Homo-oligomer: A and B are copies of this chain.
Amino acid sequence: MATPHEQLQPRVDEAIDAGEMARLRQLLADHHPADVADLLERMDSVQQHRVFQMLDDELAASVLDEIGRDATRDLLDKLPLDDAALLLGRLPMDDAAEILAEDVPEKQDVLLAAMEGDKAAGIQRLLRYPPDSAGHLMTEHYVALRKDMTATEALAEVRRMDAIAETVSELYVLDDQGHMQGVISLRELINLAPSAVIGDHMTTRVISVQPETDQERVAHEVAQYDILAIPVVDNGRRLLGIITVDDIIDVLVEENSEDILRFGAVESGSVDQPYFTVPLLRVLRNRFGWLLLLMVADTLTGAVLRQFSTRLAAVVQLSFYIPLLIGTGGNTGAQTVSTIIRGLAIRDVHFSDLWRVLRRELLGGLLLGLALSLVAGTRAWLWDRDLQLALVVGISIIVICTWSNVMGSLIPLLASRLGIDPAVVSAPMISTLVDSSGLFIYLSIAGLLLTGAI
């Protein structure tokens, strides 16, 4: 099925070819900004700019927000500074802050200087917080109520704030100093009697985060408690801003892409760019570093082989089982890493569980190794009719599986402890790490057991 931007494409081309700019403008205005962004994303830079200039300001701002990083940079570069600042000023402040911080950091200062003073100041407040933190995602455009307001007064306040507020689904009850006292939803509000007092009907158990909280953690809280917006408060529980659920969904989608890329050993620098629009050379740069590092680690495995070359030459059959043994080690390790990364992501597993995890994975590796060693040992015996060799293969599998399982759980846990995203412990990395150690284990066991032959 064609996606909306694919259906839009031929009609836009037609309007451009016919020079019917009014029809083109109408066509774009009739579509969702996300679809217009998808369409522009696939145009060459010249046509992209031409079509972008045709959009009215509100649509143009939304498109800027939805489109990938390269296109955002490109479009902002081509606009006069004041126009660019104006468009950014039309966006929700968290979205504008994100563009300034991540897409055009080198123009951040000039663009802020060209914006209206209060808007620039608001965005600057967000930019003080670390990237990927709650502070970066929040907006200050929420609706604040007071405890002593009646439902009628509160509803009037909601209406008054309508043009400004990013969401009115959740309304925040603050004292004079801006401290959070409670929350009431619009749904609850419209069901109150007109004279009911807000303070009597608000929820005082408010789930909140702090501005420094990592965005993945924020997403976890929203997922856990099924809420439409989460307030960000300082240490004294003063309300600094709120994060709306649409931003949380974007975080989840982004983190999902990032995890898969990292786990496949690809730098996730271009995570918001569609596949075909990332310049090939940048893709290769994002991949080359890891490949090179892993290749260096692989030469270690080669060095182990070199070390044991006389043993391998004496019993040439030994080498036939190398792929099976190091392959199984790598696969077992990759399985464990993926289990632990997932556990850490959904906050099931913490570094403090280290010993419990290690005990569990040690036992698991041992049992998996036992089961696999029966298969591999039998296979070896059937192939080479050499009971000693079969024994070496079987025992090696047990030790290697246990070792890989332990390493596969230890490394991501240590990474999380050091504040590194555990998903950088990729499947290729763990495979490569256990390759050389697995080989060493195998050939050492062979040396111990095949004393007659070597």
Contacts and interface: CB of A to CB of B under 8 A. Distances in A.
Nearest to A162: B191
Interface stretch (A101-109, A126-134, A173-181, A298-306): A298-306
Given A291-B335, A328-B298, A246 B226 contact: yes
B292 A375 contact: yes
Interface in A337-366: 337-343, 345-349, 353, 356-357, 360, 363-364
Nearest to A169: B169
A439 B306 contact: no
A313 interface: yes
Contact of A292 (B261, B345, B356, B372): B372
A402 interface: no
A344 to B, nearest CB: 9
A339 B261 contact: yes
Given A280-B360, A324-B301, A327-B432, A275 B223 contact: no
Interface stretch (A20-28, A43-51, A71-79, A315-323): A315-323
Contact of A249 (B223, B280, B284, B323): B223
Nearest to A251: B252
A411 interface: no
Interface stretch (A112-120, A233-241, A263-271, A444-452): A263-271
Interface stretch (A8-16, A83-91, A194-202, A423-431): A423-431
Q: How large is the interface on A (under 10, 10 to 19, 20 to 34, 35 or more residues)?
A: 35 or more
A54 to B, nearest CB: 20
A257 interface: yes
Contact of A330 (B255, B283, B428): B428
A371 interface: yes
A5 to B, nearest CB: 10
A186 to B, nearest CB: 6
Interface in A148-179: 155, 158-159, 162, 168-169
B346 A257 contact: yes
Interface string A284-300: 10011011101101110
Given A158-B190, A264-B336, A330-B330, 5 more contacts: A263-B338, A292-B375, A295-B331, A334-B428, A431-B431
A323 B442 CA distance: 14
A187 B255 CA distance: 30
B275 A343 contact: yes
A17 interface: no
A275 B426 contact: no
A349 B250 contact: no
Contact of A263 (B224, B263, B435): B263
A411 B219 CA distance: 32
Interface in A183-226: 186-187, 190-191, 205, 207, 219, 222-226
A435 B323 contact: yes
Contacts of A283: 339, 364
A223 B250 contact: yes
Given A256-B345, A284-B364, A330-B428, A298 B319 contact: no
Residue with the highest number of chain B CB atoms closer than 10 Å, among A228, A342, A435, A436: A342
Contact of A187 (B168, B294, B302, B371): B168
List 5 tightest A-B contacts by C-beta distance, closest first: A264-B338, A427-B427, A301-B323, A275-B343, A298-B327
Contact of A265 (B32, B256, B331): B331
A323 B338 contact: no
Nearest to A278: B339
A81 interface: no
A312 interface: yes
Given A34-B224, A223-B253, A331 B291 contact: yes
Contacts of A330: 330, 428, 431
A454 interface: no
A376 interface: yes
Contact of A301 (B327, B335, B367): B327
A260 interface: yes
